[in-house]
Amino acid sequence: MNILLINHYAGSPKMGMEFRPYYMAREWEKMGHKVLIVCASYSHVRSKQFDITKDYTIKESEGINYFIIKTPKYHGNNFGRVKNIYSFVRGLKKHSKKLSETFKPDFVIASSTYPSDIYSAHKISKLSKAKLIFEIHDLWPLSPMELGGYSKWHPFIMLMQHAENYAYKNCDKVVSILPKTKEHAVKHGLSPEKWYHIPNGIVVDKWNKELEIPQEYSEIINKQIKKGHQLIGYTGSHGVANALDCIINAMEILKNHDISLFLIGNGPAKNDLINLSKRLDLKNVFFLNSIDKELIPSILDKIDILYIGLQNQPLFRFGISPNKLIDYMMAGKPVIQAIKAGNDIVKEAECGISTEPENPEKISEAIIKLTNLSEKEKLLLGNNGKNFVLKNHNYKILAKEFIDIICR
């Protein structure tokens, strides 16, 4: 089968996020299917960009073919990002006939975070007599409404709402990464029997490699280990939504304990977090820059307990499926999750502690509780998480489930 996967932000292990399109495509290719990913040349979540001069190009990256539409650069959630989205959607519309005639897809998957690519995806599916699949990452326009405070009458929101409703009305199937979106989708026009859930996952063979992390990272981590400190770790974006100020404030409560926190990654809130740590005069909080995804297993192996948090937002009632949480669990380490959501993977897997978001006191209590466990007890929690991921979040299994669903 020929699968056309449209995802504005699609990346790859070397290019950076989003990873799911690449890993799904790789597994589908292994199964004998042909995949073409349609993406934008510029995305704020990628660490590296596709450098193209024409309005589109076709390029192979790490064994997968990409149809890349030229889009302008932007920074932050401002008009520049809107222009980038418009440029991608316009380019997709322009090249719809070309994609249909040259690739001849059997399935067209509209998988961008926002729903506006659905119109061209539907056009391509009709031209190709292909099935149309709508994949939910985040709920747009609900996300910018609830997180950004936009009115439902804002022109941008109204356009997004029309696109979302159009997607539910015209798609053959919905595959939701989030586990609790069915009621919302049905409310906006989806037939309930068309809804399915496939979460994010991991690639098992990436965890069987022993790679060296940068020497400067090893030195600073090993220094704290030699002091007898237990290490708390966070990897990923340093954004406002990640509420990392809360765990820094929790570390102030624990400043006299033999515990060190490592925050690994970059993001718009990083400088503010560094300044907060300095104001609190914390000697046990360390900031390291992002590392290649291939090195994540190696650096997580050096950490004792892993942390994930998010702001206390009602939007998370639809559930979450964070890549970093799945990585943490695959690393076989206990997890502290400070998130209030419609699902609780940590509780379900029995791999750590779920605690109240944006509450430094509760977070510090969770840290103390886990650091006081014996090594045997920590190992049990870690193994619980790893076994849960192997059973429920292996991309090899998820990719097959996806194919089974869309072929029904």
| The one-letter amino acid at 153 | W
pLDDT of residue 341: 97
| Residue 205 reports pLDDT greater than 90 | no
| Residue 320 reports pLDDT greater than 90 | yes
pLDDT of residue 53: 85
pLDDT of residue 269: 94
pLDDT of residue 292: 84
Q: What are the tens digits of pLDDT across the range 345-357?
A: 999 999 999 999 9
| Residue 294 reports pLDDT greater than 90 | no
Section 22-40 average pLDDT? 97
pLDDT tier, 221 (very low <50, low <70, confident <90, very high otherwise): very high
* Burial (Cβ within 10 Å: 0-12, 13-18, ≥19) of residue 226: exposed
Q: What are the tens digits of pLDDT across the range 142-180?
A: 998 988 889 999 999 999 999 999 999 999 999 999 999
> Which residues contact residue 172 at a Cβ distance below 8 angstroms, ignoring those fewer than 6 apart?
131, 132, 133, 194, 406
How far is the first Cα of the chain from the last one, in angstroms, to the nearest whole number? 14
Q: Of 74-78, 298-302, 336-340, which gets the smallest average pLDDT?
A: 74-78
pLDDT of residue 14: 85
Residue with tokens 């390291």, as numbered in its chain: 288
Q: What are the tens digits of pLDDT across the range 68-112?
A: 999 999 887 778 888 999 999 999 999 999 999 999 999 999 999
Supply the DSSP symbol for 77. Answer: S
Judged by DSSP in three states, 37 sits in strand
**Mind listing the domains of the chain with CATH numbers?**
2-201+394-406 (3.40.50.2000), 205-392 (3.40.50.2000)
pLDDT of residue 78: 78
Residue 283 CA to residue 299 CA, distance in Å, equals 21
Residue 32 CA to residue 2 CA, distance in Å, equals 10
pLDDT tier, 16 (very low <50, low <70, confident <90, very high otherwise): confident
Q: Of 172-176, 266-270, 291-295, 323-327, which gets the smallest average pLDDT?
A: 291-295
Percent above pLDDT 70 for the chain: 100
Residue 380 CA to residue 389 CA, distance in Å, equals 14
Section 257-279 average pLDDT? 96
pLDDT of residue 17: 85
Q: What are the strands, taking DSSP E only, across 177-331?
A: 195-197, 230-235, 259-264, 285-288, 305-309
pLDDT of residue 354: 98
Show the tokens assigned to 8.
């504005």
What is the Rg, in whole angstroms, of the alpha carbon atoms belonging to the chain? Answer: 22
Mean pLDDT over each residue of the chain, to the nearest integer: 95
User: What are the b/e assignments for 119-152, b being 16+ CB within 10 Å?
Assistant: bbbbbbbebbebbbbbbbbbbbbbbbbebeebee
pLDDT of residue 51: 86
| Residue 215 reports pLDDT greater than 90 | yes
pLDDT tier, 288 (very low <50, low <70, confident <90, very high otherwise): very high
| 372, HSE (Cβ side, Cα atoms, 13 Å) | 7
Does an H or E element contain 403, and which? helix 395-406
| Residue 204 reports pLDDT greater than 80 | yes
pLDDT of residue 149: 87
> Which residues contact residue 39 at a Cβ distance below 8 angstroms, ignoring those fewer than 6 apart?
7, 8, 9, 10, 11, 21, 50, 66, 67, 68, 69
| The one-letter amino acid at 87 | S
